[in-house]
Amino acid sequence: MRAILSVQIFLSHTKLDKDFCDRFDIVAARVGLKLFRSELESIQTPAWATIKEELEKSAALFLLVGKELVSAQASSDSAKREEWKFTQNWISCEIGMACERQIDVWVICDRVDINFPVPYLNNYEVNSIDLENKTQLDWWKDILEHYKTGKTYRVVNPKQGFKCLNCGASFNVWSGLDPGARLVCPTCLFVATLPRGFSW
């Protein structure tokens, strides 16, 4: 794996989910971790070259799946549907580049079910980011702090590991889920029922 030139995290998202992105920004700022968030940066043309350059400097990619991204796919508003297509294409490109670099890819859902496939990921969180929940906030700060020291979450941990029975994708699940809960596989969208739930 190539050396990380500077510690930063790459955000893959839609600008329509501003509140969700802002919450992630706040946590990262509290640990002094730099973020690359495309709508706040100067993007040189061609855009893919800037994306590639920023991913080269990133320790991990965090895909934020918010309510606006999920609802835009089937929206009656043609502008929102076009924004979804545009965003989904860029997400696919960014995930592919992250996979090539073999950096961690996190998928974090803002209490919504993902409705488009993500071909590569290491870590999955379906319970969002709640800044009012001190336990959860401290946990996120700890995760992001670890990236500053070079720790990764690439290997599937036996305690957090999940393997989809439909597509075989394996990744860490960081959400506490009650017995009987559903889990949408972000790679194939297969809905698994978890008889014993999921805890860590």
Q: Domain map of the chain by residue range?
A: 8-194
Predicted pLDDT at 158: 86
pLDDT, tens digit, 9 for 90 and up, residues 124-169? 999 889 999 999 999 999 999 999 988 999 888 888 899 999 999 9
Indicate if the pLDDT at residue 3 is higher than 80: no
The confidence band for 4, taking pLDDT boundaries of 50, 70 and 90, is very low
Query: What dotted CATH number matches 8-194?
Result: 3.40.50
Identify the DSSP state of 54.
H
DSSP E strand boundaries for the chain: 8-12, 34-36, 58-65, 104-109, 123-125, 161-163, 170-173, 181-184, 191-194
Single out the residue of 188, 200, 91, 86 nearest to residue 136, CA to CA: 200
Token pair for residue 29? 């700022």
pLDDT in the model for residue 85: 85
User: What are the strands, taking DSSP E only, across 7-57?
Assistant: 8-12, 34-36
Provide the pLDDT for residue 152: 92
- pLDDT surpassing 60 at residue 5: no
Q: What does the pLDDT read at residue 2?
A: 45
Cβ pair 106, 58 in contact under 8 A: no
- pTM (2 decimals)? 0.91
Contact 154, 105 (CB under 8 A): no
Note the pLDDT of residue 74. 84
- The tokens for 92 are 């696919």
Phi, psi of 195 (to 5 degrees): -55, -35
- CA-nearest of 18, 23, 53 to 36 is 53
Does position 192 have pLDDT exceeding 90, yes or no? yes
Cα separation, 33 vs 147, in Å, equals: 9
Report whether 60 contacts 12 (CB < 8 A): no
- Residue 191 is predicted with a pLDDT of 97
